[in-house]
Structure 1
Amino acid sequence: MNEQINVSGMVLSAMPIGENDKRLVILTRELGRISCFARGARRPGSTLMALSNPFAFGSFTLVEGRNSYSLISASIREYFTELAFEQPGVYYGYYFLDFADYYGREGIDGTDMLNLLYLTMKAILNPHLDNRLVRRIFEIRIMTINGEYAPDPALMSPSALYVVRYVMSAPLTKLYTFEVKPEVLKELENALNRQTDRILDRPLRSRRVLNEMIRT
């Protein structure tokens, strides 16, 4: 039997496979984004059932196979089950997972993206924070981590540019600690909508659903 591997990560997506299994995509600190199979996770009473859902964050024990990994067990630190009762917070959550999946690659260091995801999920559960601002902070930082964001000072007000530069360079733990004026938030929304339209080479269904929820 292959040696077991312990990784820290968050489940980005879970897909049913066959009658009893699931295929998971996990963003890990050590291996980047990986796919793994949770055998029997859909079987009633399975110890893997609660471990193999989106948003689950913790330590995962895997075995590497020829083409993928198999999930053996996990110690979950946060399930973020509260998101299911947050409207439209849960749609923001799925969008953040989807964006992380878009950038994730196997073999990269996933530390910054994983930490950003965890803190962002905490932020959207904070009733004192504006989810609209949380979204834009997340977008700026994840694009910065992946080298795809550089603001154009000529197209931004000094206030909006200050916010962007702060978000690009601040410690992750300081990202969700401020508010902005409505006009600055609107400017950030317009600028980041244009940027994400430009860089995404495939549509994110979660983005479309989130935008529809916000409009309604």
Structure 2
Amino acid sequence: MKFYEVQGMVLRRKKINARDCYLSILTREMGRIEVFAGGANVPRSPLNKGASPFVFGKFSLSGRGNYRLQHVEVIDGFYYLREDMERFLAASLVSRSLMAMLPEGEANRPLYELSVNTVAVFHKYPQLIVQATVYFLYGAARATGIEPAGPECMACGQSGYVFDVGEGGFLCEDHAPAGQRLSEEELEIFRQLSTLGLVDFLNEKHAPQPLAHVRALLGEYWHRQWNLDINSIQKELDQFR
């Protein structure tokens, strides 16, 4: 029997029966994996503390392909995510996005780090949920190699003012058959997304309306790329604002 130790975050818990469950875990070393957690539903089980959604820790596994959870060392339980509906829905957007976009067993270190750091922001700084969500949507597309082209025009290299979801990026008005024209504030947000790290982006000041429009455009982009209705999930989240 082969043994592994991985660092990761639980994305989803699927109950099998009163005792057992399957966990979808985003790991640094092995990507997204499915793990059988025998007895983890039992409150007194040593595995129970590490079998909740968004628990971040070190997971000891056995098996080859069909993994079984042997031990969990919790690094951060992200407790407040499960106690506050707004934070929980924001973190759920991340987990549902990863389940849709990331094939099982495909490691992606930049996407892993972005996802864990984003959930940590939701947990500690709920006032930054919108900004962190926008950065996650853009950064996850970049980490998987389908970052929107721009912000220069894809056709001529001039400043792009139209974001065309169908074309996959920015076009100037002369080359844009469709798409939505961006304000200067929205264009600046896209520039920041393409050049800044998460912390630096969160430290910038963004007006609510331009940020919400960029979020909606990225939601449309995600829907086209992964057939995931991000904007519907966002509407659920907005009900708690």
Question: By the TM > 0.5 criterion, same fold?
Answer: yes
Output the TM-score relative to the length of structure 1: 0.86
User: Which residue does the alignment assign to 1:5?
Assistant: 4
Cα 1:3–1:175, aligned 2, differ >3 Å: closer, same or farther?
A: farther
User: Which residue does the alignment assign to 2:39?
Assistant: 40
How many residues in Structure 1 have an aligned counterpart in Structure 2?
212
Offset from partner CA, 1:15-50 (integer Å, 9 cap, x none): 111331110111111111110101111124110011
User: Any conservation in 2 of the 1:10–1:55 contact (CA below 8 Å)?
Assistant: yes
Offset from partner CA, 1:37-85 (integer Å, 9 cap, x none): 01111124110011111101111111124x4100110111111111123
User: Any conservation in 2 of the 1:40–1:46 contact (CA below 8 Å)?
Assistant: yes
Question: Does the alignment pair 1:156 with 2:182?
Answer: yes
Offset from partner CA, 1:181-216 (integer Å, 9 cap, x none): 233213313322321222232557xx6454234146
Offset from partner CA, 1:94-134 (integer Å, 9 cap, x none): 11111122222234333212211221122223447332222
User: Any conservation in 1 of the 2:100–2:228 contact (CA below 8 Å)?
Assistant: no
User: Any conservation in 2 of the 1:100–1:113 contact (CA below 8 Å)?
Assistant: no
User: Which residue does the alignment assign to 1:214?
Assistant: 238
In 2, Cα distance between equivalents of 1:210 and 1:135: 10
The one-letter code matched in structure 2 to 1:190 is: A
In 1, Cα distance between equivalents of 2:112 and 2:102: 10
* Identity across the alignment (%): 23
What residue ranges of structure 1 are gaps of 5+ in the alignment?
A: none
The one-letter code matched in structure 2 to 1:9 is: G
The one-letter code matched in structure 2 to 1:159 is: E
Question: Does the alignment pair 1:79 with 2:97?
Answer: no
Map 1:43-192 to 2 at 5 A: 43-65=42-64, 67-127=65-125, 129-150=127-148, 151-154=169-172, 155-192=181-218
Deviation of 1:171 after TM superposition, in Å, equals 3.3
The one-letter code matched in structure 1 to 2:235 is: N
User: Any conservation in 2 of the 1:123–1:176 contact (CA below 8 Å)?
Assistant: no
User: Any conservation in 1 of the 2:42–2:48 contact (CA below 8 Å)?
Assistant: yes
User: Any conservation in 1 of the 2:132–2:198 contact (CA below 8 Å)?
Assistant: no
Cα 1:44–1:194, aligned 2, differ >3 Å: closer, same or farther?
A: closer
Cα 1:114–1:89, aligned 2, differ >3 Å: closer, same or farther?
A: same
The one-letter code matched in structure 1 to 2:236 is: E
Cα 1:211–1:14, aligned 2, differ >3 Å: closer, same or farther?
A: same
User: Any conservation in 2 of the 1:119–1:173 contact (CA below 8 Å)?
Assistant: no
Structure 1 stretches of at least 4 aligned residues deviating more than 4 Å after TM superposition: none
Bigger radius of gyration:
2
Question: Which is further off, 69-78 or 81-90?
Answer: 81-90
Question: Which is further off, 164-173 or 76-85?
Answer: 164-173
User: Any conservation in 2 of the 1:93–1:121 contact (CA below 8 Å)?
Assistant: yes
Q: CA RMSD in A?
A: 2.3
User: Any conservation in 2 of the 1:22–1:41 contact (CA below 8 Å)?
Assistant: yes
In 1, Cα distance between equivalents of 2:126 and 2:7: 29
Give the structure, 1 or 2, with the largest relative contact order (CA under 8 Å, sep 6 or more).
Answer: 1
Question: Which is further off, 173-182 or 135-144?
Answer: 173-182
Deviation of 1:161 after TM superposition, in Å, equals 2.6
